[in-house]
Copies of this chain bind each other. A is one copy, B any other.
Amino acid sequence: MKKIVLREDEMPTRWYNVVPDIPNGLLPPLDPETLQPIGPEKLATVFPMSLLEQEMSQERFIDIPQEVLEVYKIWRPSPLVRATKLEEALGTKAKIFFKNESVSPVGSHKPNSAVAQAYYNKREGVKRLTTETGAGQWGSALSLATSKFGMECKVYMVRVSYDQKPYRKFIMQAYGGEVVASPSMDTKTGREILTSDPDTPGSLGMAISEALEDASSRSDTNYALGSVLNHVVLHQSIVGLEAKRQMEIAGEFPDVVIGCCGGGSNFAGLVAPFVPDYLEGKKIEFHGYEPASCPSMTGGKLAYDSGDVAMMTPLLYMYTLGHNFVPPGIHAGGLRYHGMAPIVSALVREGIVIPKAVHQLECFEAGILFARTEGIIPAPESNHAIRGAIIEAMKDPNEPKTILFNLSGTGVIDMPSYDNYLTGKLSDYAYPQEQIEAALARLPKIG
């Protein structure tokens, strides 16, 4: 068998919530004004109650609504694949498996949460969602999701991506999403930024601020976030739940589980369902691969910090480079975030997740090898996971270990980055630690 494919009726019907299983638990999000734990009533202006309940939930399993399962079936269950040709090319005795989340209609794992978020908002009477997007993976996932539930969607897309990476903008529009370059004239925040700096390339932080302002100002509108938060990790757990069942069918249990880490959602989604096995004493490692150019776990510190530049979000207890950190523009879009999901951060704190940093050239090299052996061009983000799998397989090529990684997305909508790599336009860049320390020194002092 090359692939293990589950039938639709074998798809998990409950998400797994890892929060109650994290030793020493999570610290609560704080109100940025009072620095006290934030209550759901304050967040309810931009989030539906059902998602806030999931955000705070201590239940281990939460039913997936039938309406969400129906949309998942457009592409789920996703295949688990044995990368036999990659193994042969490496000359390793390791078995390398990957969970193929690139098969969704927008080419990434992002719809796993987008569909759930759109559903719960719709059920609570919300007609319109706003969000921010960088390269466009999350924006296209949310546009797909809102189209399935007859909702409107407005995406604030970082201007430099809006201008230079039009394909995902067009994908959002094909699904009926409204896309504007951020900063835009549509919000007070955007107008102020444009007044002082008309030629700004924009940033994710600015786009978050605009999307939040829009959602706060309209009663029919909520806001949706594609990573970092607990309910996003919950929804992504379907990745690991399926993979675990598929590994069982293959007669395997992974020695190492690997994913790339930006905000942490695809990594946590794959890893979380295996955490109880770890806690029961099973021999299993979890490796989170982040770019050396944006090393929140390996270069940052665990602290309360804001999710956006304007400090409109609650303060989250997470590994962070400081919310003013601006990673170099040329590196993998989806991994350019200053913070790490509180769930992943807590797993790192407890020594359960081992963080690793890799450089982009070695990641693209791994991606090209993967394309020419396994036939699939990976997303630049996913190349970090592939690099990790190769490192693990080659530590001792004679050791017959079992490796599982998450192929979080396809590269075919991101081909200019491969062209930049193949034509020698990319270089490695490790963020200077002193600059990181300086950014961290500006964090709010809490406790």
Known A-B contacts A8-B1, A174-B422, A368-B174; A375 and B412 likewise in contact (beta carbons under 8 Å): no
The chain B residue sitting closest to A375, CB to CB, is B74
Asked if A105 and B166 make an inter-chain contact with CB atoms under 8 angstroms apart, the answer reads: no
> Considering the chains assembled together, what is the distance between the CA atoms of A312 and B71 in angstroms?
50
What does the 1/0 interface line of A24-57 toward B look like (CB < 8 Å)?
0000000000000000000000000000000000
- Residues in B with CB closer than 8 Å to A9 are 1
Query: Which residues of A in the span 63-120 have a Cβ within 8 Å of any Cβ on B?
Result: 70-71, 73-74, 81, 85, 103, 105-107
- Residues in B with CB closer than 8 Å to A174 are 368, 371, 377, 411, 415, 418, 422
Give min CB distance, A117 to chain B, whole Å: 16
Asked if A418 and B173 make an inter-chain contact with CB atoms under 8 angstroms apart, the answer reads: yes
A148 within 8 A of B: yes
Say whether chain A's binding surface is mostly helix, strand, loop, or mixed: helix
> Considering the chains assembled together, what is the distance between the CA atoms of A175 and B7 in angstroms?
31
Asked if B416 and A413 make an inter-chain contact with CB atoms under 8 angstroms apart, the answer reads: no
Give min CB distance, A170 to chain B, whole Å: 4
Known A-B contacts A412-B413, A415-B167; A175 and B371 likewise in contact (beta carbons under 8 Å): yes
The number of residues on chain A lying at the interface, defined by a beta carbon within 8 Å of a beta carbon of chain B, is 44
Give min CB distance, A110 to chain B, whole Å: 13
Known: A71-B375, A174-B371, A413-B413. 20 other contacts (CB 8 A): A1-B8, A2-B70, A74-B375, A74-B376, A85-B148, A105-B375, A147-B371, A166-B419, A167-B412, A167-B415, A167-B416, A170-B418, A170-B419, A173-B419, A174-B368, A174-B415, A175-B377, A176-B372, A412-B412, A412-B413
Q: Which residues of A contact B (CB under 8 A)?
A: 1-3, 5, 7-9, 70-71, 73-74, 81, 85, 103, 105-107, 144, 147-148, 166-167, 170-171, 173-176, 368, 371-372, 374-377, 410-413, 415-416, 418-419, 422
Give min CB distance, A163 to chain B, whole Å: 14
Among A5, A170, A173, A372, residue most surrounded by chain B Cβ atoms (within 10 Å): A170
- Residues in B with CB closer than 8 Å to A410 are 105
- Residues in B with CB closer than 8 Å to A372 are 147, 175-176
Asked if A374 and B74 make an inter-chain contact with CB atoms under 8 angstroms apart, the answer reads: yes
The chain B residue sitting closest to A418, CB to CB, is B174
Asked if B1 and A107 make an inter-chain contact with CB atoms under 8 angstroms apart, the answer reads: no
- Residues in B with CB closer than 8 Å to A147 are 371-372, 375
- Residues in B with CB closer than 8 Å to A103 are 103
- Residues in B with CB closer than 8 Å to A3 are 8, 73
Sampled A-B contacts (21; CB under 8 Å) = A1-B9, A2-B73, A2-B74, A5-B5, A85-B148, A103-B103, A105-B375, A105-B376, A105-B412, A106-B412, A147-B372, A147-B375, A166-B416, A166-B419, A167-B167, A170-B416, A173-B419, A173-B422, A174-B415, A174-B418, A175-B371
- Choose one: B170, B176, B376, B415; the contact of A166 (CB below 8 Å): B415
Asked if A171 and B377 make an inter-chain contact with CB atoms under 8 angstroms apart, the answer reads: yes
- Residues in B with CB closer than 8 Å to A374 are 74
- Residues in B with CB closer than 8 Å to A1 are 8-9
> Considering the chains assembled together, what is the distance between the CA atoms of A81 and B174 in angstroms?
21
- Residues in B with CB closer than 8 Å to A74 are 2, 81, 374-376
> Considering the chains assembled together, what is the distance between the CA atoms of A105 and B5 in angstroms?
17
> Considering the chains assembled together, what is the distance between the CA atoms of A252 and B170 in angstroms?
36
Give min CB distance, A400 to chain B, whole Å: 22
